[in-house]
A and B are shown apart, each in its own frame.
Chain A
């Protein structure tokens, strides 16, 4: 026996835990055809047969509120055998509830089982129920639901109209209810299959969705009827737990959330550091291999490609994977235990002003450490447009690498005024995010999609460590294959630009840099600083190394390569800078690199999360342009001051 299983359920119902536990490492994330929604698929074997599983986007309603819901309900509309898994049996027990699965099964006509996704022993029951459902080819008995619907005015008449020419794949009952609910997607579908006269008739009967609320009542009347006599036990507590009293506190809620995320960020470094260490080792290998190859008489071009592009990219990617692993693990854990829902609650209002979900605060905070972590963390946002917008805004947050350079540069040039520069940068960051939200928000998150939260806060529950680890490993593996080509490509482009075949003057970057200096001077960047700015797109740590190379007269192609490894900060840097760069230029440069695109790895991580070349490129170009614009403004203000 073999089958494809679709997991349907409300948000926070534990679907993903079940999916991860079933499929383990045999899962991959793609896109639904023609949609930007993530498609999570996987397989598992049971008794020698292979089953495939699809984890559908969680949804409360089967209406067409978003792409996610449309995908989910297209599955729900299928006439396929099904069975019902009632998850969190342990929580029900804790609350003193008893649930009679057999009684529910009798009323629904499909296998029903009590389940606890975190309990390893429960999976045998899952498999046997699956077998039972496949063998009996059981379909949901909706006759008593239909009896409720029949009380709605116009139900029988609309259903009659749909009987013959209804679009295939949907039951007449489902379509009729959607018509009564004034569902736009279904209306459009019907217009394709029915003639104008029938459409007119149906529209009159539907009364513009006047019965939509009543249709909702029918569903819950049916649910109540099914639960009647099947669920008993003490009425559960309506009081908030101690942790929730802190998280939902009017004053302490926000600090508590920020603290939680920052602790999470620190915690994610614990599993990340060893992996990042391996990345650094690979980086050190680069010099050794390069020396060896040169000694063996290998052409400089080949050595460069192999070491400065190949090994360098590999080192970048390994370091990135360490961080992606840590962030996915820690924030996956926060989501699984139920903390993420509280974060949504606390920041719903604030983030709503930007068109985002409350959860978006998490990637923003993580980005102060590392933007790729922010991008990886944005995965918990279940709406694609909001996810892209969140990452686009997170790029404006200066990352750890920027914090390593900016205070240093500020102190060299502005002495005691350095803290003031930092404060101005943070204010500009907020303004940048606000404007960027306006620029991209209109396209990514349509006004009608900007609805506030209506969401359950699930009870806290224990994580399922094994499933979580397997999920994180799978995700990290996925990331590796996806980003390695992006990083390779970008590194190769930058390397080629800086490659001069021995002389700096023949490199493309030098030629372009010096040729357009009259233009870049307008934004406050002499050609050396402009090249350093370009280098900062690969990695901000590198920018200072490139400046050192350029002003001290060493080969900058080599300086460029070394700087990418995060090395090269000359002892005489301060004198070099002060002798060659004016204060307005320095100010311009500080703004340019702070708000430039974060780094090549963040770019790759963004692509990995949003699955769109177009949007990744759009955001990257936008950041390059705005960085130069800010640099220009800073330069001209600087000229007025000094």
Chain B
């Protein structure tokens, strides 16, 4: 599943990234690399997804969420 499909308060691990080199550069540089654990704080329609990862709160636009594959750990 992709990052945007996760429910609020769920926990997941990034399993893969899909996109052009520019997208990859932007995502990996903020630390969302494969194996990275994420906690979904907020997932509202028409708002960026709010997640907690690597000790910080990160907002990710919904469109960019589609390129981030995750495996759910806890729903």
Contacts and interface: CB of A to CB of B under 8 A. Distances in A.
Contact of B48 (A181, A184, A215, A345): A345
B55 A236 contact: yes
A60 B30 contact: yes
B44 interface: yes
Nearest to B22: A65
B68 to A, nearest CB: 10
Contacts of B29: 60-63, 216, 219
A344 B41 CA distance: 17
A317 B41 CA distance: 47
Interface string A439-460: 0000000001001111111110
Contacts of B50: 248, 345, 457
B41 A240 contact: yes
A310 interface: no
B21 A454 contact: no
A239 to B, nearest CB: 8
Contacts of A61: 25-26, 28-30
Interface in A119-155: none
A215 to B, nearest CB: 8
B64 A452 contact: yes
Nearest to A248: B42
A352 interface: yes
B26 A455 contact: no
B33 A455 contact: no
Q: From DSSP, what is the main secondary structure of chain B's interface residues? A: mixed
Contacts of B25: 61, 63, 65, 181, 183, 212, 216
A248 B47 contact: yes
Contacts of A65: 22, 25-26
A181 B21 CA distance: 6
A344 B33 CA distance: 24
Contacts of B61: 348-349, 352, 451-454
A423 interface: no
Contacts of B21: 63, 181-184, 209, 212
A454 B27 contact: yes
Contact of B28 (A216, A344, A455, A458): A216
A341 to B, nearest CB: 8
Given A63-B22, A209-B24, A348-B61, A453 B33 contact: no
Interface in B29-75: 29-31, 33-36, 39, 41-42, 44-48, 50, 52, 55-64
B59 to A, nearest CB: 5
Q: From DSSP, what is the main secondary structure of chain A's interface residues? A: mixed
A181 B30 CA distance: 15
Nearest to A457: B57
A182 B33 CA distance: 17
B17 interface: yes
A248 to B, nearest CB: 5
A453 B34 contact: no
A248 B44 CA distance: 9
Given A60-B29, A451-B26, A456-B30, A213 B17 contact: yes
Interface in A361-407: none
A348 B28 contact: no
Contacts of A352: 61
B32 to A, nearest CB: 8
Contacts of B52: 238
Nearest to B52: A238
Interface in A345-365: 345-346, 348-349, 352
Contacts of B30: 60-61, 454-456
Given A61-B25, A238-B39, A250-B47, A454 B34 contact: no
Contacts of B28: 61, 212-213, 215-217, 219-220
Nearest to B40: A238
A123 B67 CA distance: 43
Given A238-B41, A248-B50, A451 B24 contact: no
Nearest to A11: B30
Given A63-B22, A209-B21, A348 B48 contact: yes
A454 B8 CA distance: 18
Contacts of B42: 240, 248
A98 B29 CA distance: 24
Given A181-B25, A209-B21, A348 B47 contact: yes
A174 to B, nearest CB: 14
Nearest to B68: A454
B71 to A, nearest CB: 16
A92 to B, nearest CB: 10
B69 to A, nearest CB: 11
A341 B59 CA distance: 10
Contacts of B35: 217
A181 B24 contact: yes
A349 B47 contact: yes
Contacts of A63: 21-22, 25-26, 29
A455 B44 contact: no
A341 B48 CA distance: 12
Nearest to A209: B21
A209 B41 CA distance: 32
Contacts of B45: 250
Interface string A495-523: 00000000000000000000000000000
Given A62-B29, A220-B31, A212 B59 contact: no
B47 A60 contact: no
A351 to B, nearest CB: 11
Nearest to B29: A61
Which 8 interchain pairs have the tightest Cβ spacing? Answer: A452-B61, A216-B28, A61-B29, A63-B25, A182-B21, A60-B29, A457-B57, A238-B52
13 contacts: A61-B28, A61-B30, A181-B21, A209-B21, A216-B25, A216-B33, A219-B29, A220-B36, A250-B45, A345-B48, A452-B60, A453-B61, A455-B59
Given A216-B27, A453-B61, 14 more contacts: A61-B28, A181-B21, A182-B21, A183-B21, A184-B21, A213-B16, A213-B17, A213-B34, A216-B29, A220-B36, A248-B42, A250-B45, A452-B61, A454-B61
Interface of A: 60-63, 65, 181-184, 209, 212-213, 215-217, 219-220, 236, 238, 240, 248, 250, 253, 341, 344-346, 348-349, 352, 448, 451-459
